[in-house]
Amino acid sequence: MSRAVLSIGSNMGDPLANLRSVVEALGERVLAVSSVYATAPWGGVEQQDFLNAVVMAEDPGLDCWGWLALGRELETAADRVREQRWGPRSLDVDVVDCDGVVSDDPELTLPHPRAHERAFVLVPWLEIDPAAELQLGGDARPARELLDGLDPVERGGVRRTDLRLAAP
């Protein structure tokens, strides 16, 4: 059984509908879906805030490469255009973790190379999995410890909303 942690985000078009499209496409594979969070953009590009969430999903027919391919398919279905690094986008689907696998392949780096620096990933992940761990430097590190080590401004920029993503 392959289990993936996916970070999803959107700040173009109808961001909530874009996030919902991921949950709907995953269907019965969804194990847990976090609340929706509003977060300031990351990376220094001027743009509107993002809506972010984390989805934990399971599928015996997918490996880590399969989760990456599925994420890209979902981005394409949402008319994702990659015009500017860290720029606005209709949908971003990142594989944060897949079965604890560590990969330094340029196409599939696992865990996601900046997940440990991003409160918008760690906060919703911890909501659905308080015992979440991330492989860093050969060691499993508690996501709670990683979040606590972030700048308070980074943590404070992740605001829970009343919006919901329907889970199957």
What pLDDT shows up at residue 85? Answer: 67
Report DSSP letters for 68-95, one per residue. HHHHHHHHHHTT----STT---S-EEEE
**Bridge pairing between strands 30-33 and 50-59:** antiparallel
Which amino acids are annotated catalytic?
80, 89, 92, 94
DSSP state of 155: H
Residue 159 · residue 37 · CB < 8 Å: yes
Residues 9-65 pLDDT 10s: 999 889 999 999 999 999 999 999 999 999 988 666 677 899 999 999 999 999 999
Peptide bond just before 111 cis, omega within 30 deg: yes
- Could you list the beta-strand ranges (E) of 11-127: 30-33, 37-39, 50-59, 92-98, 103-104, 109-110
Which value, to the nearest 10 degrees, does the dihedral of the CA atoms of residues 40, 42, 48, 53 take? -70
Query: Which pTM value belongs to this model?
Result: 0.92
Handedness of CA 31, 128, 16, 165 (dihedral sign): positive
Alpha helices in 27-83 (DSSP H): 64-77
For the stretch 111-155, pLDDT in tens is: 888 899 999 999 999 999 999 999 988 899 999 999 999 999 999
Token readout for 70 is: 């599925």
Model pLDDT, residue 43 = 67
**Structural domains of the chain, ranges and CATH numbers in brackets:** 2-160 (3.30.70.560)
Q: Is the pLDDT of residue 168 over 60?
A: no
Q: Are 68 and 97 in contact (CB under 8 A)?
A: no
